[in-house]
């Protein structure tokens, strides 16, 4: 299910080298698993030279303040998990230049797409992580993020694969740790079962409050939401998405 955002949160890793095999290594670090079309030459060049300048190294201790990762300085930091083609993340970074954004995406093709946009728009408030979002959440300091977005994740529809869904009790607890009080977790999906799954997991957490007060609050995108390619495809095919917002309890 490869699409703008339809990506698993816990990628398998491989040990190949560019070009022509399943992974990319840059300066000894794994930068995601290739999936889909072969990279164009300029995309491969961006992976080789631009990505290392923007990639987070979680091998060591996290900085006391994530805002220190950005130059010029930012006021607050947000995270998008599985940004796919990067449409939403890029739009948010351009709309809020005083915020810092961390994008987590395990697939090389997604990284190549967003790097192209970062270069063309000269964006300086995005940092990238090509790996397991759960590991990234464990690395960030407590209460470091003001918002976490998970937009059209892979629903893993077969029951035997449900354990691969990103939303689990453990990751809900990890997001609670990473978010500051009154921070938000935002979730979008056109898969009713995954929406119900997410509501159930967040409802049993004492750390989150579902903000919806009326049906329109979850049936309609929040103001200024940037629709992804997958979201537009779902609309064309008659699938309605739910837009769920959860506030971290103070």
Q: How confident is the model at residue 36 (pLDDT cuts 50, 70, 90)?
A: low
Q: How confident is the model at residue 38 (pLDDT cuts 50, 70, 90)?
A: confident
Tens of pLDDT, residue by residue over 173-209, are 999 999 999 999 999 999 999 999 999 999 999 999 9
Before 19, cis peptide (omega within 30)?
Answer: yes
This prediction has a pTM of 0.86
* Catalytic positions, written as ranges: 154
Kind and range of the H or E run holding 79: strand 76-81
- Domain residue ranges in the chain: 23-248
The order of strands in the sheet holding 242-248 is 126-129, 99-104, 76-81, 145-151, 179-189, 242-248, 208-210
Lowest-confidence region among 8-17, 42-51, 179-188 = 8-17
Residue 27 has pLDDT above 70, yes or no: no
Q: Does domain 23-248 bear CATH number 3.40.50.150?
A: yes
Tens of pLDDT, residue by residue over 114-146, are 999 999 999 999 999 999 999 999 999 999 999
CB neighbour class for 164 (10 Å; exposed up to 12, middle 13-18, buried from 19)? middle
Per this entry, what is the length of the chain?
Answer: 250
Is beta strand 126-129 parallel, antiparallel or unpaired with respect to 145-151? unpaired
């Amino acid at each position: 299910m490869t699409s703008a955002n339809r990506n698993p949160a816990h990628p398998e890793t491989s040990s190949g080298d560019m070009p022509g095999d399943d992974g990319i290594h840059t300066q000894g670090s794994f930068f995601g698993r290739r999936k889909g079309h072969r990279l164009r030459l300029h995309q491969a060049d961006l992976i080789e030279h631009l990505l290392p300048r923007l990639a987070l190294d979680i091998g060591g201790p996290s900085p006391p303040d994530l805002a220190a990762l950005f130059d010029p300085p930012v006021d607050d930091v947000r995270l998008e998990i599985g940004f796919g083609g990067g449409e939403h993340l890029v739009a948010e970074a351009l709309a809020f230049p005083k915020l810092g954004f961390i994008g987590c995406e395990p697939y090389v093709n997604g990284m190549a797409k967003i790097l192209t946009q970062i270069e063309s728009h000269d964006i300086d408030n995005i940092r990238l992580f090509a790996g397991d979002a759960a590991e990234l959440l464990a690395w960030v300091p407590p209460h470091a993020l003001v918002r976490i977005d998970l937009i059209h994740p892979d629903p893993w529809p077969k029951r035997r694969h449900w354990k691969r869904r990103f939303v689990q009790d453990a990751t809900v607890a990890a997001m609670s740790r990473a978010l500051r009080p009154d921070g938000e977790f935002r979730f979008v999906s056109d898969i009713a079962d995954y929406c119900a799954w997410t509501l159930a997991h967040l409802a049993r957490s004492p750390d989150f409050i579902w903000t919806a007060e009326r049906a329109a609050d979850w049936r309609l995108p929040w103001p200024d939401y940037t629709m992804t390619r997958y979201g537009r495809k779902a609309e064309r095919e008659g699938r309605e998405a739910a837009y769920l917002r959860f506030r971290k309890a103070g």
